[in-house]
Amino acid sequence: MRTTVCYTMAVVASEMNLYQARQRVEDLRAQIRYHDYRYYVLDSPEISDAEYDKLMRELRGLEAQFPQLITPDSPTQRVGGEPVEAFGVTEHRTPLLSLANAFNYEELKAWYRRAVTILEIESFPLVCEPKIDGLAVALVYEDGRFVQGATRGDGFRGENVTENLRTIRSIPMRLLGKKMPSRFEVRGEVYMSRVAFERLNEERTDQGQPCFANPRNAAAGSVRQLDSRITAQRSLDIWVYQLGWADGPYPPTHWETLHWLQDMGFRVNPEIGRYERLEDVERHYRQWADRRHDLEYEIDGLVVKADPFHYYERLGVVGREPRWAIAYKFPPIQATTKLLSIEINVGRTGSLNPYAVLEPVQVGGVTISKATLHNEEDIRRKDVRAGDTVIVQRAGDVIPQVVGPVVSKRTGREKDFVMPDRCPVCGTDVERPEGEVMRYCPNPACPAQAFRWLTHFVSRGAMDIEGLGESWCYVLLEQGLVRDPSDIYSLTREQLVELERMGEKSAENLLSAIEVSKGRPLARLIFALGIRHVGSEMAAILARQFGSIDALARASEDELAAIPTVGPRIAESVHQYFRDASNGRVIEKLRRAGVRMAEEVTPAPAEGPLAGLTFVITGTLASMPRSKAEEYVRQLGGSASDSVTKKTNHLVVGESPGSKLQKAQRYGTNVLSEQEFLELLRRHGAM
């Protein structure tokens, strides 16, 4: 109902008198404060972002119409959260501003027209950047070294999180090049990739900790940790998008500044564009609205900025929002719908996973009818009940989630959820290990478990057997050809071609995919085994630590628990797994089939002054063969690639370069001569 009310009110706003406007403004502020509290403090929002935006927009509209109603404490006048004293507070030399929003092309055009009118010109060039959904930080550099990092806080004062930011590898501690202002500040967004976010939540679920609602919260929660060791364990990254201030010269345009920052070693997003006309910005926006989920991280729109800095002062700032930039938002990926019932799915480790059956709803262009609810605790914490109106969200590949109920829409007929005492598939009494949030079906022969284990084993992050989707897994189990994953490796061509809908060609393809999977890295195999509490990240840690399945199987519980990231629950679970005779048989069969059981030596993860930077070397170098040059890059933590893409940071050009140079120029990639490259190597002590 709330939406309808806002809409009607917005329509009649123009006919309001000051008295009515004041009443409405006060109402809106009270609502917004309430929702801020639900969102930021309780982490339990009642309305979707889109609904919240609507309230804000109506308030802004009224304040624009009746400026006498603006008060310093209006929600429109604040930028972010209050800084937490425990970190130490940092004054920003120039405030970290916020952005006005445009939700459609009309609004974008209106913004541009206003700017053009103020500047008294026909048009001006624009830079488009992805709007990263993370946490804004300001990084100060002195003589090329990182000296201080702070959160935005309220825009004027932020939290000093320098030590935590030092743990993020893509934040350079020292910059490349000699000519730069003696002291300057860059701004950027710290974020967590979707994959890292999912892994983190997976592990938190396994460890009985509450999940983060989205990658942004996870990133913010990780940076605002009082113990920087915790931050260090989280996979965080940064995109740098702005120069804050500088004591010394810098380029005259934003576009050139971004490249200048990139050359110093900052991670600048490759998906940026510069356009002369607003129509081209619109085209860029449409492309990204469709492709946003192709990115490894979440973006919620574009930021469109005027390119030449000399316009910024004249355009000025309204409230906290500069007129020289605007956030061009994508359609929301949240919606509200009815939760019809809560059902149970039996997972690969026998865990009983609750999920929501929803009245189908369109979210971000896709219809969803199911969403995960993680576990019992999660349901209790969010207090969702069958019959509730709930907020759901989806973001790319992430499984749709139920964010929470809209409490104000309750009728009193909603039903509390009770976890079953028996496995809904095989009827065995379920167990709940002490201190765990999950309940498990302990029956190893439970058909649901065999199916889940098999589909997990062949899945992408595990043994990655292409062509073996859920329906084939089901058929193989049903036909008795496979009982556990190791049986996959004894399937024959004859058996496969007999299956309905399996042609000769697909049988061949499947067999070769199975063959290929035998050589997967040890970490994948460990993950594929489906050991309770061992997600992909934990599997990688175990693989690195033990180097082979046999060494892992021999490890005592104490040895396992002695590894820093392995808690007692994981240690016990891994140890138990290898003590179970049926698991032992599966492993023996895998070994006999020729599946790789030990790790080959893996290169150390990238670290060093060039970490996060990609180099391409083209043409003939006078001083060394290309392979040698590439080795130097790797030694310093960078990566070397063969082809120039938008992601390439530096192209090193030798004698008679080919088309790569043109491509690099098109992408605006930094080009280094051989001399400059050698200088860079020397500076970092590689030569």
Residues near ligand IVH (CB under 6 A): 97-99, 129, 131-132, 136, 152, 189, 241-242, 303, 322, 325, 327
Provide, rounded to whole angstroms, the least separation between the CB of residue 72 and ligand IVH: 20
Provide, rounded to whole angstroms, the least separation between the CB of residue 304 and ligand IVH: 10
Comparing CB distances to ligand IVH, the nearer of 240 and 555 is 240
Comparing CB distances to ligand IVH, the nearer of 187 and 569 is 187
Provide, rounded to whole angstroms, the least separation between the CB of residue 123 and ligand IVH: 21
The length of the chain, given as a count of residues: 687
Number of neighbours of residue 104 by Cβ within 10 angstroms: 11
Comparing CB distances to ligand IVH, the nearer of 189 and 674 is 189
Comparing CB distances to ligand IVH, the nearer of 132 and 373 is 132
Comparing CB distances to ligand IVH, the nearer of 242 and 459 is 242
The DSSP string of 31-79 is HHHHHHIIIIISS--SS-HHHHHHHHHHHHHHHHH-GGG--TTSGGG--
In angstroms, rounded to a whole number, what is the distance separating the alpha carbons of residues 538 and 534? 5
The DSSP letter of residue 82 is: P
Provide, rounded to whole angstroms, the least separation between the CB of residue 309 and ligand IVH: 13
- The verdict on whether 131 is a catalytic residue reads yes
Closest C-alpha to 402, from 343, 352, 360, 358: 358
Closest C-alpha to 131, from 327, 395, 396, 398: 327
Angle at 504 between CA 503 and CA 510, to 5 degrees: 90
Q: Are 237 and 269 contacting, i.e. CB atoms less than 8 angstroms apart? A: no
What three-state secondary structure class fits 378? helix
What three-state secondary structure class fits 411? coil
Q: Give residue number: closest CB to ligand IVH.
A: 136
In angstroms, rounded to a whole number, what is the distance separating the alpha carbons of residues 134 and 303? 14
Comparing CB distances to ligand IVH, the nearer of 308 and 657 is 308
Strands (DSSP E) found in 276-351:
299-306, 317-318, 321-322, 325-329, 334-346
Tell me which of 54, 131, 382, 660 is the catalytic residue.
131
Provide, rounded to whole angstroms, the least separation between the CB of residue 126 and ligand IVH: 13
In angstroms, rounded to a whole number, what is the distance separating the alpha carbons of residues 202 and 538? 11
Going by C-beta distance under 8 Å and a sequence separation of 6 or more, which residues neighbour residue 357? 339, 340, 341, 342, 343, 369, 370
Provide, rounded to whole angstroms, the least separation between the CB of residue 99 and ligand IVH: 4
Comparing CB distances to ligand IVH, the nearer of 315 and 551 is 315
Comparing CB distances to ligand IVH, the nearer of 244 and 447 is 244
Q: Copy the structure tokens of residue 97.
A: 């501003």
In angstroms, rounded to a whole number, what is the distance separating the alpha carbons of residues 116 and 30? 36
Provide, rounded to whole angstroms, the least separation between the CB of residue 320 and ligand IVH: 9
In angstroms, rounded to a whole number, what is the distance separating the alpha carbons of residues 563 and 505? 47
Provide, rounded to whole angstroms, the least separation between the CB of residue 237 and ligand IVH: 13
Q: Are 575 and 554 contacting, i.e. CB atoms less than 8 angstroms apart? A: no
Provide, rounded to whole angstroms, the least separation between the CB of residue 643 and ligand IVH: 26
Q: Is 372 left (phi over 0), alpha (psi -120 to 50) or beta?
A: beta
Going by C-beta distance under 8 Å and a sequence separation of 6 or more, which residues neighbour residue 681? 632, 636, 687
**Helix count (H) and strand count (E) of the chain?**
25, 22
Comparing CB distances to ligand IVH, the nearer of 66 and 184 is 184
Per the listing, tokens 């950027």 go with 188
C-alpha distances in Å from residue 208, one per residue of 182, 200, 540 = 48, 12, 21
Q: Which residues are catalytic?
A: 131
